[in-house]
Amino acid sequence: MGILAQDIAYAWRTLRRSPGFAAVAILTLGLGIGATTTIFTVVNGVLLRPLPGYRDPGRIANMWVDFGVGAQSLPVMSPGDFRDYQQRNRSFEALAAGSGGQVIGATGALTGYGEVPERVDISPVTANFFPLLGVNPLHGRHFTAEEEKVGGPKVVILSYGLWARRYGADPSIVGRTIRLRITTFGPPTFSSSAVN
């Protein structure tokens, strides 16, 4: 402890003799500590803490596909690969898939009779997506396996924000038909979708 006290006293005397150097050293230490604290706060909030609002968030994993030596690894896979993984899976309780409209090249526009059209984001998901995350709709129900199939019934689950903004948070929207125009890389398609 005696050597530590001598080192502190020597550092104090040196810094008192050079106030400019002392100011730069203190400023540099302050910036370094502040930057480190900020980075840790972001990493802790985004990467280390469990995801809020999900049942059993410590058990949720994101699958990445490795495209070989020197190639990219991405959290994306083809629908066929996903179905293969889902059918042959022995490691996970369940697998679900979801995608943003920008990934599949789709945008949506809500149109209606006498209503102002509104551009909306579309996120196609598998029928078990929300149950797997432990997220339940505020009103209505989850998708069914029949609705997931190509050519199956067309249904949507509205986000809370869209439901509150466009439909006035009216719970009677469940079961009603809305008009949704979906545009993909090909020609646009019109779809009357039931809100479930």
Dump pLDDT digits (tens) for 148-185.
888 888 888 998 998 998 888 999 989 888 888 877 65
23-50: per-residue pLDDT in tens? 898 899 999 999 999 999 888 877 777 7
Predicted pLDDT at 48: 76
Give percent of the chain above pLDDT 70: 85
User: Of 112, 100, 52, which is closest to residue 76 (Cα–Cα)?
Assistant: 100
Which range, 31-40, 65-74, 104-113, 122-131, has the best average confidence (pLDDT)?
Answer: 31-40
Supply the pTM of this predicted model.
0.64
Token couple for 143: 């998708």
pLDDT band at 194, cuts 50/70/90?
low
How many whole angstroms separate alpha carbon 53 and alpha carbon 128?
17
What is the distance between the terminal CA atoms of the chain, rounded to a whole angstrom? 71
